[in-house]
């Protein structure tokens, strides 16, 4: 393939030598440079083509596309805008400028451009899909669904349209419609693992864990090196009480992607359930090494230290969790429980009081604080 590009460039270079004022030759060579990844050379050739033929809209369009690939979005917009001035009836020019506006999060301009592209090419499903993506990014989900639906009407065999619409339905918690769309996407493209994964996530949300496991198992067959799929299936096994299977899947996820802290944390929870406290602490510690600013991992490790009788280590971890997430009432309550057990009543009362300030509707926190007050009065009687 690379040799073919080099030969094409050589031939176009010879053509330019023979006819150095032919802008089309520079444009063609630029196209080859672009597809071979030599984008600065492509920009140079597109620019020369423009010098030779400044009224040719496609040359600006092509250079704009390359600028966009280089993430020089302002230059890309300038070129797309000039192409539109020269050829205002070309829908693709508006669509590409819209994509660039979207990269700059200027969703209003992007929608305006795509609406114009749709006016010019009302039967192009991709333009509706593209505008739907922008509506979704800007939080206008009902408009997104309308556009995805129109894209599906125009091209009912495109699986990705159903999949993306399913994602919107899922975000809107319309799970029945989400499942229907994922299922249709699977019918059209049964070899796409992510379609099964997203349907599995909806099944799990609806507590259909066995159906989720079926879908995740199929996803794993299709993509056996994706650690997250094993992690998700393990979650479902865990809820069903199949801890050994969950453990095996978490372990496989770790083998495939040992840099994912959540995988260790999840396996740590299985160890904790199976009373494997030292292994649980080891996994939570590894999760903390990988994600040291995640308060939940300190909280999880603290619970195991507490269950193992290592109360000072537990207090240290709960304190670190509070430093990282001081708005989480449960962290204070957990630390307060240890202070109460250690008969450090003032610290316990302070922690439970803080938990109550953060979550004043939680009756358990009042009960815990009341018990500490009573323990002080009664001399530590239960």
What would the pLDDT profile of 24-62 be if each residue is shown by its tens digit? 999 999 999 999 999 999 999 999 999 999 999 999 999
**Which pLDDT score is estimated for 382?**
45
- On whether the CB atoms of residues 128 and 121 are closer than 8 A, the answer is no
The secondary structure of the chain in percent helix, strand, coil, rounded to multiples of 5, reads: 80, 0, 20
Q: 301 pLDDT band (50/70/90 cuts)?
A: very high
What three-state secondary structure class fits 208?
coil
Please compute Rg for the chain using Cα positions. 30
Q: How many Cβ atoms sit within 10 Å of the Cβ of residue 176?
A: 10
Q: How many Cβ atoms sit within 10 Å of the Cβ of residue 64?
A: 26
**Which pLDDT score is estimated for 1?**
60
Alpha-carbon distance of 332 to 356, in angstroms, equals: 9
What three-state secondary structure class fits 260?
coil
User: Does the model's pTM come out above 0.75?
Assistant: yes
Q: How many Cβ atoms sit within 10 Å of the Cβ of residue 2?
A: 8
Backbone angles phi, psi at 72, to 5 degrees: -95, 80
What mean pLDDT is predicted for residues 90-104? Answer: 97
**Which pLDDT score is estimated for 380?**
53
What mean pLDDT is predicted for residues 315-343? Answer: 98
Q: 4 pLDDT band (50/70/90 cuts)?
A: confident
Structure tokens at 184: 């249709």
**Which pLDDT score is estimated for 57?**
97
The 3-state secondary structure of 106-165, one letter per residue: CHHHHHHHHHHHHHHCCCCHHHHHHHHHHHHHCCCHHHHHHHHHHHHHHCCCCHHHHHHH
CA 118 to chain centre: 29
Backbone angles phi, psi at 328, to 5 degrees: -95, 105
200 pLDDT above the threshold of 50: yes
What three-state secondary structure class fits 2?
helix
Structure tokens at 234: 């393990």
Q: 377 pLDDT band (50/70/90 cuts)?
A: confident
Alpha-carbon distance of 208 to 201, in angstroms, equals: 9
C-alpha distance from residue 115 to each of 91, 111, 146, 213 (Å): 10, 6, 13, 41
Within 257-362, residue ranges assigned H as helices are 261-273, 277-290, 295-307, 311-324, 329-341, 345-358
Least confident of 6-10, 84-88, 334-338, 356-360: 6-10
What mean pLDDT is predicted for residues 273-294? Answer: 96
**Which pLDDT score is estimated for 379?**
67
- On whether the CB atoms of residues 115 and 132 are closer than 8 A, the answer is no
Backbone angles phi, psi at 313, to 5 degrees: -65, -35
What would the pLDDT profile of 113-150 be if each residue is shown by its tens digit? 999 999 999 999 999 999 999 999 999 999 999 999 99
What would the pLDDT profile of 307-320 be if each residue is shown by its tens digit? 999 999 999 999 99
């Amino acid at each position: 393939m690379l040799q073919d590009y080099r030969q094409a460039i050589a031939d176009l270079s010879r053509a330019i030598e023979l006819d150095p004022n032919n802008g089309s030759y520079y444009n063609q060579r630029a196209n080859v440079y672009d597809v071979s990844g030599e984008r600065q050379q492509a920009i140079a050739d597109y620019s020369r083509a423009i010098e030779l033929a400044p009224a040719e809209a496609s040359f600006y369009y092509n250079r704009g596309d390359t600028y966009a690939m280089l993430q020089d979005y302002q230059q890309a917009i300038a070129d797309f805008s000039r192409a539109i001035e020269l050829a205002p009836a070309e829908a693709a020019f508006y669509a590409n400028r819209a994509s660039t506006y979207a990269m700059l999060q200027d969703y209003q301009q992007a929608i305006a451009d795509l609406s114009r592209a749709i006016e010019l090419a009302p039967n192009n499903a991709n333009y509706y899909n593209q505008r739907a993506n922008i509506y979704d990014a800007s939080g206008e989900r009902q408009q997104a669904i309308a556009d995805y639906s129109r894209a599906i009407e125009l091209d009912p065999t495109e699986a990705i349209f159903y999949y993306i619409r399913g994602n919107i339905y899922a975000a809107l918690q319309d799970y029945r419609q989400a499942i229907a769309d994922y299922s249709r996407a699977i019918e059209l493209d049964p070899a796409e693992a992510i379609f099964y994964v997203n349907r599995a996530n909806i099944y799990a949300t609806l507590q259909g864990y066995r159906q989720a496991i079926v879908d995740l198992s199929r996803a794993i067959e299709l993509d056996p090196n994706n650690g997250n799929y094993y992690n998700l299936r393990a979650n479902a096994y865990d809820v069903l009480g199949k801890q050994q299977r969950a453990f095996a899947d978490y372990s496989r996820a770790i083998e495939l992607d040992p840099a994912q802290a959540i995988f260790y944390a999840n396996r740590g929870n299985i160890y904790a359930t199976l009373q494997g406290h030292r292994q649980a602490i080891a996994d939570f510690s590894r999760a903390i090494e990988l994600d040291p600013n995640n308060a939940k991992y300190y909280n999880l490790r603290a619970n195991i230290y507490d269950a193992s009788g290592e109360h000072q280590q537990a207090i240290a971890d709960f304190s670190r969790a509070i430093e990282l997430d001081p708005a989480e009432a449960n962290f204070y309550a957990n630390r307060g429980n240890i202070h109460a057990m250690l008969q450090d009543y003032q610290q316990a009362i302070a922690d439970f009081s803080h938990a109550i300030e953060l979550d004043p509707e939680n009756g358990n926190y009042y009960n815990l604080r009341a018990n500490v007050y009573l323990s002080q009065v009664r001399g530590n009687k239960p």
